[in-house]
């Protein structure tokens, strides 16, 4: 499957939005973020620190200031990634940053204004334009899915029952990595269709916005595009490459202290912060490179981005910032995360001929339908020729016939249907006019012709249906080279290439500048040899300058350590706050459980509960293990059939003989009706006899008194005629012949 396996780091670009009206009206402080576009650096000023404190500088792959255009970001940082996806790599673009800093603006933008269209609509244009311009031997299949992660649950935004549907599960396969089970996926043939898919999904999110107050910024949204491309290889066989593109608009990170949320809102925010801090932990673990364990499993988001961070994908992270002084802390945190993410190494490779390629299935189905259709048409042609008496002979394979011949066959098949209809009509007319035929016979013949016409029509309908199905399937596969001669397209292509070249040049220029900066510092160290006193003074001054620089650096690092400490203290306080809230709630629930639920019920419930780490939920174990209902019922031992408990062979024989009371299996009363109504004489006799018998075998009269009026079966087995125990006893005897001996 893998073709080229090399390691490359996650590309990190930073974008700063302009000050908004509210921030501008807050005072003349201006922004705290400055950018050096040439060097790709962000310089951050601490509004609370004295002016002498050095500013913090971060270097990235590219930076975009408040004047940057959507198109600049796309051409320079996103276009190469989409090209890779079209070549069969996995690609991910995700926007990360505080709420309101322009994540959604960067990913989606304003659709109606061509200047303000974001990464997603530009990617749609890019993909379909590329397909229409590619060579005609390439076949493409494009699919799109749209999901959101809300409160740690994955929801399908393309599901018509999005609001009520069950949350979806994550699964992992060695072939495709982590994927969402049962996620809707729509085949798209054009930009219009894929935009429609996006709109449907956005509307599902918008419904949430009215119901749930600012839903859109409270869920992570993932738009997934799969591009499959089939092309004949040097071996003559068609090879399929599959590129998967994840376009991710994350929910904003926000401080609980700032938003002042409580209760449900707090829990929601805790879940967002949880998944974002899980993302932060994953980034830290990967960037660190030392810790073996990467906590992907801590949240749904990190599991879905598993391949994008440290796996088989090319990834671009767009960190968004706001320039306002009041958001200094968040801006610094975002920059630190972004800075760490630069160190993540991915191993992207081309996905070639995967087993689950849908394109392959489509190609097979189309070939099957085509063969069926051809077969039908050949049959019609053959019949036509027979009707015309030409005598039809075929030599050659149906499917290897040329296209022209196929068209001819189709024409002939249509003609055959027409001719056949005319012929049947004529025959019907002839039957109607035939005066020598009996009325009954006429009716029968007409009926027969009618049936033949019905069959003909049915067959024609079936062919039409098959043709429609075939055409629908075929239209889903996009073929390259359709617009290649289009002149304006050619010009556009040239323009785009030029733009790409310029973007490439800017990028390499920036890289060179960054390298020169590093080299400057290194050359300083190399000039240590001096001959005269003057040179020594110069050298020492330089050294001093160097030490001063180092000192400044040290101060920077100290400030950074202080920042990180402050950050940790803040997040610890927040975690404590969340913990306090949750503990309070736990105590409340505990109080209810302890006082209002019976202990035995509670124990029963607790024994049945198990934790499912896969779904992150407590679950009830079924009362009866589903797999072995029959095995549940213990088999009765052979010696107990018909008895209440197992019994020995000896005791059975003793019972049959009506001997010792010790062998009574049960102290059972027999409640069958006594058919002969007892009189006092018979009762007396019986009592006497019983007394005699019991005194001869058993010395405890108290024991017998309890069964005096109803006889125990073991004492009078012969009087029983229809008792169930007798029947089963018999059955038992026959089942174990040795017992009768």
Compare residues 104 and 346 and give the one whose CB is closer to Mg ion.
104
- Phi, then psi, of 219 in degrees rounded to 5: -130, 150
Distance CA 77, CA 106 (A): 12
Question: Least distance from C-beta 252 to ligand ADP, angstroms?
Answer: 5
Span near Mg ion by CB under 5 A; candidates 103-111, 446-454, 496-504, 574-582: 103-111
Compare residues 130 and 220 and give the one whose CB is closer to ligand ADP.
220
By C-alpha distance, which of 482, 236, 227 is closest to 359?
227
**Applying CB under 5 A, what is the total number of residues that bind Mg ion?**
3
Span near Mg ion by CB under 5 A; candidates 216-224, 263-271, 458-466, 665-673: 216-224
Compare residues 104 and 351 and give the one whose CB is closer to Mg ion.
104
Span near Mg ion by CB under 5 A; candidates 97-105, 357-365, 495-503, 577-585: 97-105
> What are the residues whose beta carbons fall under 8 Å from the beta carbon of 717, sequence distance 6 or more?
655, 656, 658, 726
Question: Least distance from C-beta 322 to Mg ion, angstroms?
Answer: 13
User: In whole angstroms, how far apart are CA 261 and each of 458, 589, 592?
Assistant: 67, 21, 26
Does residue 30 come out as left (phi exceeding 0), alpha (psi in the -120 to 50 range) or beta? left
Compare residues 103 and 117 and give the one whose CB is closer to Mg ion.
103
What are the residues binding ligand ADP (CB under 6 A)? Answer: 17-18, 97, 99-105, 217, 252, 320
Strand-strand pairing, 345-346 and 91-97: unpaired
Residue pair 102/320 in contact by the 8 Å Cβ criterion: yes
Compare residues 102 and 311 and give the one whose CB is closer to ligand ADP.
102
Compare residues 105 and 643 and give the one whose CB is closer to ligand ADP.
105
By C-alpha distance, which of 79, 34, 575 is closest to 325?
34
Query: Residue 380's binding partner, choosing from Mg ion, ligand ADP, none, with beta-carbon cut-off 5 to 8 A by kind?
Result: none
- Phi, then psi, of 317 in degrees rounded to 5: -110, 125
> What are the residues whose beta carbons fall under 8 Å from the beta carbon of 60, sequence distance 6 or more?
12, 13, 14, 40, 41, 42, 319, 338, 339, 342
Question: Least distance from C-beta 264 to ligand ADP, angstroms?
Answer: 20
Compare residues 97 and 348 and give the one whose CB is closer to ligand ADP.
97
Question: Least distance from C-beta 572 to ligand ADP, angstroms?
Answer: 26
Compare residues 219 and 715 and give the one whose CB is closer to Mg ion.
219
Query: Residue 80's binding partner, choosing from Mg ion, ligand ADP, none, with beta-carbon cut-off 5 to 8 A by kind?
Result: none
Rule CB under 5 A: is residue 104 a binding residue for Mg ion? yes
Question: Least distance from C-beta 122 to ligand ADP, angstroms?
Answer: 15
Question: Least distance from C-beta 366 to ligand ADP, angstroms?
Answer: 42
Query: Residue 40's binding partner, choosing from ligand ADP, Mg ion, none, with beta-carbon cut-off 5 to 8 A by kind?
Result: none
Question: Least distance from C-beta 109 to ligand ADP, angstroms?
Answer: 8
Distance CA 430, CA 417 (A): 20
Determine the residue with CB nearest Mg ion: 104
Query: Residue 354's binding partner, choosing from ligand ADP, Mg ion, none, with beta-carbon cut-off 5 to 8 A by kind?
Result: none
Determine the residue with CB nearest ligand ADP: 102
Strand-strand pairing, 238-249 and 91-97: parallel
Question: Least distance from C-beta 251 to Mg ion, angstroms?
Answer: 7
Rule CB under 5 A: is residue 217 a binding residue for Mg ion? yes
Question: Least distance from C-beta 147 to Mg ion, angstroms?
Answer: 16
Burial 158-183, CB ≥16 within 10 A → b, else e: bbeebeeeeebebeeeeebbbbbeeb
Query: Residue 31's binding partner, choosing from Mg ion, ligand ADP, none, with beta-carbon cut-off 5 to 8 A by kind?
Result: none
DSSP state for residue 649 in the 8-state scheme: H
Question: Least distance from C-beta 102 to ligand ADP, angstroms?
Answer: 3
Rule CB under 5 A: is residue 500 a binding residue for Mg ion? no
Rule CB under 5 A: is residue 277 a binding residue for Mg ion? no
By C-alpha distance, which of 200, 219, 209 is closest to 269?
219
Query: Residue 346's binding partner, choosing from ligand ADP, Mg ion, none, with beta-carbon cut-off 5 to 8 A by kind?
Result: none
Rule CB under 5 A: is residue 380 a binding residue for Mg ion? no
Question: Least distance from C-beta 183 to ligand ADP, angstroms?
Answer: 24
Distance CA 678, CA 30 (A): 116
By C-alpha distance, which of 418, 430, 420, 477 is closest to 452?
420
Span near Mg ion by CB under 5 A; candidates 87-95, 217-225, 320-328, 416-424: 217-225
Strand-strand pairing, 139-150 and 186-188: antiparallel
Query: Residue 102's binding partner, choosing from Mg ion, ligand ADP, none, with beta-carbon cut-off 5 to 8 A by kind?
Result: ligand ADP
Compare residues 103 and 143 and give the one whose CB is closer to Mg ion.
103
Size of the chain in residues: 741
Please state the separation of Cα 87 from the chain's center in Å. Answer: 24
Query: Residue 17's binding partner, choosing from ligand ADP, Mg ion, none, with beta-carbon cut-off 5 to 8 A by kind?
Result: ligand ADP
> What are the residues whose beta carbons fall under 8 Å from the beta carbon of 244, sequence distance 6 or more?
85, 90, 91, 176, 224, 225, 226, 227, 351
- Residue 674 has which token pair? 């006594």
Compare residues 41 and 104 and give the one whose CB is closer to Mg ion.
104
Query: Residue 205's binding partner, choosing from Mg ion, ligand ADP, none, with beta-carbon cut-off 5 to 8 A by kind?
Result: none
Compare residues 17 and 241 and give the one whose CB is closer to ligand ADP.
17
User: In whole angstroms, how far apart are CA 584 and each of 256, 270, 589?
Assistant: 18, 16, 9
Query: Residue 105's binding partner, choosing from Mg ion, ligand ADP, none, with beta-carbon cut-off 5 to 8 A by kind?
Result: ligand ADP
Question: Least distance from C-beta 174 to Mg ion, angstroms?
Answer: 34
Compare residues 84 and 101 and give the one whose CB is closer to ligand ADP.
101
> What are the residues whose beta carbons fall under 8 Å from the beta carbon of 130, sequence distance 6 or more?
83, 86
Distance CA 501, CA 77 (A): 12
| Contacts with Mg ion, residue ranges (CB under 5 A) | 103-104, 217
């Amino acid at each position: 499957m893998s073709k080229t396996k090399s390691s490359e780091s996650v590309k990190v670009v930073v974008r700063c939005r302009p000050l908004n009206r509210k921030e501008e009206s807050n005072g003349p402080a201006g922004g705290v973020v400055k950018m050096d576009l040439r060097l790709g650096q962000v310089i951050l000023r601490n509004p609370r620190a004295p002016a002498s404190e050095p500013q913090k500088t971060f270097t990235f792959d590219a930076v975009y200031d408040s004047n940057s255009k959507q198109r600049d970001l796309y051409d320079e940082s996103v276009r190469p990634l989409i090209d890779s996806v079209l070549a069969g790599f996995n690609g991910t673009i995700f926007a990360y940053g505080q709420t309101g800093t322009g994540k959604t603006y960067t990913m989606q933008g304003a659709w109606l204004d061509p200047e303000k269209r974001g990464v997603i609509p530009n990617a749609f244009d890019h993909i379909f334009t590329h397909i229409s311009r590619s060579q005609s031997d390439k076949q493409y299949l494009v699919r799109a899915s749209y999901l959101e992660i809300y409160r740690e649950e994955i929801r399908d935004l393309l599901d018509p029952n999005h609001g009520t549907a069950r949350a979806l599960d994550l699964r992992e396969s060695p072939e495709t990595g982590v994927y969402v089970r049962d996620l809707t996926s729509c085949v798209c043939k054009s930009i219009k269709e894929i935009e429609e898919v996006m709109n449907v999904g956005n509307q599902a999110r918008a419904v949430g916005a009215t119901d749930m107050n600012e839903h859109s910024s409270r869920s992570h949204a993932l738009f997934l595009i799969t591009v499959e491309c089939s092309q004949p290889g040097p071996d003559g066989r068609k090879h399929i490459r599959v590129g998967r593109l994840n376009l991710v608009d994350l929910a904003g990170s926000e401080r609980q202290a700032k938003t002042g949320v409580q209760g449900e809102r707090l829990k929601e925010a805790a879940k967002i912060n949880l998944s974002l801090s899980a993302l932060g932990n994953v980034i830290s673990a990967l960037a660190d490179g030392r810790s073996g364990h990467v906590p992907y499993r801590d949240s749904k988001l990190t599991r879905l981005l598993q391949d994008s961070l440290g796996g088989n994908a090319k990834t671009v992270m767009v960190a968004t910032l706001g320039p306002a002084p009041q958001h200094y802390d968040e801006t610094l945190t975002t920059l630190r995360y972004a800075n760490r993410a630069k160190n993540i190494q991915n191993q992207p490779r081309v996905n070639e001929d995967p087993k689950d390629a849908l394109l392959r299935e489509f190609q097979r189905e189309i070939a099957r339908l085509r063969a069926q259709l051809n077969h039908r048409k050949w049959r019609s042609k053959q019949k036509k020729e027979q009707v015309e008496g030409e005598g039809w002979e075929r030599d050659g394979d149906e499917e290897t016939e040329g296209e022209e011949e196929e068209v001819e066959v189709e024409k002939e098949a249509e003609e055959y249907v027409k001719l056949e209809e005319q012929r049947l009509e004529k025959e019907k007319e002839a039957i109607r006019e035939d005066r020598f035929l009996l009325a009954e016979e006429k009716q029968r013949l007409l009926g027969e012709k009618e049936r033949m016409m019905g069959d003909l029509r049915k067959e024609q309908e079936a062919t039409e249906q098959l043709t429609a199905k075939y055409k629908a399937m075929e239209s889903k596969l996009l073929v390259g080279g359709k617009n290649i001669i289009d002149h304006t397209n050619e010009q556009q292509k040239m323009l785009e290439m030029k733009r790409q070249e310029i973007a490439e040049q800017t990028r390499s220029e920036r890289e060179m500048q960054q390298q020169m900066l590093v080299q400057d510092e290194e050359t300083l160290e190399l000039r240590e040899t001096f001959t005269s006193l003057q040179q020594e003074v110069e050298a020492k001054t330089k050294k001093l300058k160097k030490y001063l620089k180092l000192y400044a650096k040290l101060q920077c690092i100290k400030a950074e350590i202080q920042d990180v400490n402050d950050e940790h203290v803040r997040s610890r306080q927040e975690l404590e706050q969340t913990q306090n809230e949750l503990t309070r709630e736990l105590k409340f629930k505990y109080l209810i459980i302890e006082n209002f639920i019976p202990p035995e019920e509670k124990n029963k419930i607790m024994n049945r509960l198990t934790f499912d780490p896969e779904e992150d939920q407590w679950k009830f174990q079924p009362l009866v293990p589903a797999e072995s209902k029959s095995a549940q019922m213990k088999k009765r031992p052979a010696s107990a059939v018909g008895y209440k408990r197992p019994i020995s062979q000896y005791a059975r024989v003793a019972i049959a003989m009506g001997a010792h009371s010790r062998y009574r299996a049960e102290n059972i009363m027999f409640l069958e009706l006594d058919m002969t109504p007892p009189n006092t004489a018979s009762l007396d006799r019986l009592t006497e006899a019983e007394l005699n018998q019991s005194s001869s075998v058993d010395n405890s009269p108290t024991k017998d008194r309890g069964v005096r009026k109803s006889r125990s079966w073991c004492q009078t087995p012969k009087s029983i005629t229809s008792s169930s125990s007798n029947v089963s006893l018999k059955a038992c005897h026959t089942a174990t012949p040795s017992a009768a001996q």
